[in-house]
Structure 1
Amino acid sequence: MRVLGVDPGLTRCGLGVVEGVAGRPLTMKAAGVVRTPADVSVAERLLLIEQGVEEWLDRHSPEAVAVERVFSQHNVRTVMGTAQAGAVAMLCAARRGLPVELHTPSEVKAAVTGTGRAEKAQVGTMVMRLLRLGAPPRPADAADALALAICHIWRAPVQQRLNRLQQAHARHAAGHAAPPSAPVPAADPPGPGRPAGEPGAAKARRTPDASGPRRAPEAPKGTAR
């Protein structure tokens, strides 16, 4: 599997390509950053990032793209720029039909160093060892992008198994869903000339006589009325 890791940023967008499978030594194919000048509009900077990501996709032909999931920070402007750069990378991957996975910084640090609280220097050192490099990748944004790709390769088998289990569970639940049954009308109590449980008996007994009101019985002849 060949994965492009993207550490999004408006000034420096880190990119790193790693190849390999979980449980075996990994190989770094490329690492670098896409830089944008701070004196141009945000729209132009995003366009430069889009062009840089597209160039890396053309050159290295990854099978998947891993992007860092952005969390809120104290500096809102920094968060906005980071999120916008990450969205550009996701758009470039989706345009080519490549699967995209988001990983949190703590997930990446835990996967590479064993702790989700590792510092950037620790991440760079472990990336160097895992990829058998002579020195930690520079700048740190490139090392973070490589760490994202490593994290994705190692987590991919587990994620795929989880996805298959979820799909199988959804199919099982859909196959056992029974359609709602129609309501059964309640039966009236038994009455004269009508079997027990036959609907409409009580209603028929409650219907007034069509011949009109009943007359009082006549008194016998010869008696006072």
Structure 2
Amino acid sequence: MMILGLDPGLGTTGWGVIRAEGNRLTHVANGQIRTDPSMALPRRLSALYAALIDVIRAERPAGAAVEEVLGNSNPQSTLKLGQARGVVLLAAAGAGLHIGEYHPSTVKKAVVGTGGAEKRQIQAMMGVLLPGAKLAGPDAADALAVAICHAHHLASAEGMARRARVTA
């Protein structure tokens, strides 16, 4: 199954695609979508949407995973981040993808083993979990981590369903 991981941001949205076959994960592609801060907010959101649609069409994932937004001390920044996340969800849902949503600490725990991991630790683990992957940047690494988290959750759910069918 091809999974598109997304790390939403208005300035930079990271994306990463992995192939999950059972417990085997393979890197497919990753990148970062940047919007021009000199553009009006509606234009930036539109540019983000168009770029995401291009990624979805090119990579043809079967599902998507999106990191949840955490608030910060600047309400305006939090609002803009939430709007970017809405565009990310709209693009994935509009393409018919089933979407998993994960808290950042859940993603970190899935790939590093601790919910308080730093960005550099996530980047380092991408080299271990997806050997040979050339990362487009920290936001792309985060997006791949979200995709890996989703793959783990799907595999766990599938295993539980299989066990339930056997015992029924």
Which TM-score applies when normalising by structure 2?
A: 0.90
User: Is contact 1:3-1:17 (8 Å) kept?
Assistant: yes
Which structure: greater helix fraction? 2
Tell me which of the two structures has the higher relative contact order, counting C-alpha pairs closer than 8 angstroms and 6 or more residues apart: 2
* Aligned match of 2:97: 98
1:21 Cα deviation from its structure 2 partner = 3.0
Percent pairwise identity: 38
Runs of 4+ with >6 A deviation: 161-164
* Aligned match of 1:149: 147
Amino acid at match of 1:68: E
Equivalent position SS for 1:87: helix
User: Is contact 1:33-1:142 (8 Å) kept?
Assistant: yes
Alignment of 1:3-82 (within 5 A): 3-24=3-24, 26-82=25-81
Deviations 1:98-149 (A, max 9, x none): 10111111000000000001100000000111001266x2310010001010
CA distance in 2, matches of 1:163, 1:57: 29
**Residues 60/134 of structure 1: CA separation in 2 closer, same or farther (3 Å cut):** closer
Deviations 1:75-118 (A, max 9, x none): 22221122111111111121122101111110000000000011
Deviations 1:181-202 (A, max 9, x none): xxxxxxxxxxxxxxxxxxxxxx
**Residues 160/83 of structure 1: CA separation in 2 closer, same or farther (3 Å cut):** farther
**Residues 46/134 of structure 1: CA separation in 2 closer, same or farther (3 Å cut):** closer
Equivalent position SS for 1:33: strand
Who wins on radius of gyration, i.e. which is larger?
Answer: 1
User: Is contact 2:18-2:29 (8 Å) kept?
Assistant: yes
Which structure: greater strand fraction? 2
Which TM-score applies when normalising by structure 1?
A: 0.68
User: Is contact 1:70-1:82 (8 Å) kept?
Assistant: yes
**Residues 110/10 of structure 1: CA separation in 2 closer, same or farther (3 Å cut):** same
Amino acid at match of 1:156: L
